[in-house]
Structure 1
């Protein structure tokens, strides 16, 4: 598997991966990524924002197995948000999340001082991954959170 930036041709596959993943945890509810207006056009959405990128993991046939994004968090100049880290079920457990996290965090630390993320306590494997990457749990969401259906929040500080 290799990691590359998302292309227009990947939009539909990533939308399906994200929606199926959220459905499998009964998180296809309002105020989650499931209903984000940009979910069907991730390539365009991330290209249009400064200091934003979305990466996908692809196999040798260039088929998408998962992805992750970095974008500014609200109006906070120095805080980014790790967004939409999802992997197809059949591709899980093979280290793809770690590869995607490395790509995203390497990019993030070039542009930001902190990286924030929101998730669900139902996603235990994801929470372990975030902690292993140095994210610290928070007691509540940062102000201006859009996904207030989530119940777990993390922040990572980049040391320059």
Structure 2
């Protein structure tokens, strides 16, 4: 019996279509509102192109050569330049339960520090209980309102952490 091959790497242009499927699939699976979320973000269909600036990065997770998830770091829109946002962290059911969420999360937080950010912000939906639990374990604190200008008015969970 062979062991699964898991790779976490920076996004490539050919990852756009499979990653879009993973992201959009999670919204249907968890019954997250589509409007006012990452579901309707124009960049969801072109993730590679959306993460090409020097102060941002997006990682995908491959399982046996298949892209099944990812997460990225970008400056928090319309806010202080020292605060980044963890964006679009979604996993296919095939990846869940393998500890990869924490590994990817650690990689993103390290990248945020390396890029010079002082704080990391997250917006999420209350339906994503496992993800929120990971954020809390990593020391993210709940906020009472959104910050920045993400446009994700359907997200009801806002969190921040000093890096």
Shorter-chain TM-score: which interval? over 0.9
Residues 16-73 of structure 1: per-residue CA shift (max 9 Å, x gap): 00001011122242110000001111011101x231010011124x211210010000
1:79 to 75, 83, 86: 83
Which residue in 2 is equivalent to 1:108?
A: 112
Structure 1's consecutive aligned runs of 4 or more residues displaced over 6 angstroms after TM superposition are none
Which residue in 2 is equivalent to 1:67?
A: 70
CA-based RMSD of the aligned residues comes to 1.1
The alpha carbon displacement at 1:122 in A equals 1.3
Q: Which runs of 5+ in 1 are unaligned?
A: none
**TM-score of the two chains, using structure 1 as the length reference:** 0.93
Matched residues, number: 156
Using the alignment, how far apart are the partners of 2:20 and 2:149 within structure 1? Answer: 24
Q: Which runs of 5+ in 2 are unaligned?
A: 1-5
Q: Establish whether residue 99 from structure 1 lines up as the match of residue 103 from structure 2.
A: yes
Which residue in 2 is equivalent to 1:134?
A: 139
Larger fraction in helix: 1
